[in-house]
Each structure stands twice: as structure tokens, then as C-alpha cells.
Homo-oligomer: A and B are copies of this chain.
């Protein structure tokens, strides 16, 4: 388990995991599956004084890039539009790992991190990206709602980050206790965590219409 991770396409000196390399996964399908399963990404942006900010965003994967949007009025997002380096991280928490020592106690998770600089999407590409973000978060919804107006599109900054420099970590095993802890007389294992949808709650005018089939079919 402690073998060094060999460089793979998409892995660089910056994203090659130095800690816990056995949790590093370089399969691009796993990367895509993580990004497709997440709903929120955390974007790192550094301001003009070197202060980092970590901002949650809705996003979508489009092939080998991540699409996300912000307000054109946000000074942080404008920095990304100007080519500031960024990091976009998606973390899916899958469970708690109850080992027999504090040190080995941990979490099950799937995590993807992408480093790079963003491209600002314009015109048809921008419209397409907005639809993709909606389709990722609210599949089936787009055709039922009003498309962005010219004014709304102008106030929205749509960014694309290529998945060129990425790292993927998956922790999904049973507790990895050291030999001398294994006889400890205590329950040990994993408590799974998952997200579930609750019953849809309509607003006042929405209650006059049936819950759409696409909403009833959403699962996590």
C-alpha cells in the first residue's frame, strides 16, 4: 500500500500526492465520477494581498473541464477572469471510519482537486455552460423555466477550468489499525454517510402544479 505513485497523465509535481499516496487514484473515470456526483465545489482564489478565499459554487463537468459561474460584480471572480491561478476541489463525504486508535480514525471520502487558470466563456459557449450547470444540479428542469435574459447573462461570469492538472483521492477501506491495536476489545468499522432528498416543498403558486417527474426521480 505504501508504493510510490508513478506520474500519470494529468499528474504533475504540484498535484502528485506527497501524503498517503495509497489514497491517490489516477483513473480519469474515477475523477469524472466524483465530479459528476458532487453538487458543490470549493474554489480557491487569492486576492491582491496574497490572502486566499475558499468559495462554494455550483458547477458542472463538461468533458475534461469544470464549468462554474459567479457574479461579474465579484472582485474575486474577476480575478479568475483575469487569469489568476485557482484550485477547484470537490469532496464527497461517504462515511466515518472508527478505528481502534485516534490516529487511524478517519473518514471515507472521494475527493478531486484541479489546479490551473480559467477561461471566460462568452456567447454560445456561455449559454451552453449555463444550461450544463443547470442540468447537472437540476436535471430535467431547464425546459420548464425561463432562460437567462440578456441582462442576467451580462451579470453572470462563466468560467471553465481544464482538468489538466488534477489529483484524486479515494478513501474507502476498513480501519487500518496497527498490529498492536487489533486485539482491542471494541467495535470498529465504518458508519456510512449519504445525502438524501426530502419531500419537495412547493411555494405558494407552485403548489397548484404537480411535482414534475424529473424531480420525483432525483436520487442521491
Contact = CB atoms under 8 A, between A and B. Distances in A.
Interface string A177-220: 00001111111111111111111111111110111100100101
A119 interface: no
Interface residues of A, number: 96
Contact of A206 (B43, B187, B199): B187
A115 to B, nearest CB: 6
Given A53-B87, A186-B206, A102 B145 contact: yes
A193 B193 contact: no
A4 to B, nearest CB: 14
A88 B51 CA distance: 12
Contact of A54 (B54, B156, B183, B196): B54
A9 interface: no
A56 B152 CA distance: 33
A165 to B, nearest CB: 10
23 contacts: A14-B51, A19-B73, A19-B74, A39-B107, A40-B91, A40-B93, A46-B46, A52-B85, A55-B113, A58-B107, A98-B141, A102-B130, A105-B141, A105-B145, A187-B200, A187-B210, A187-B211, A188-B205, A190-B200, A191-B198, A192-B199, A193-B196, A195-B195
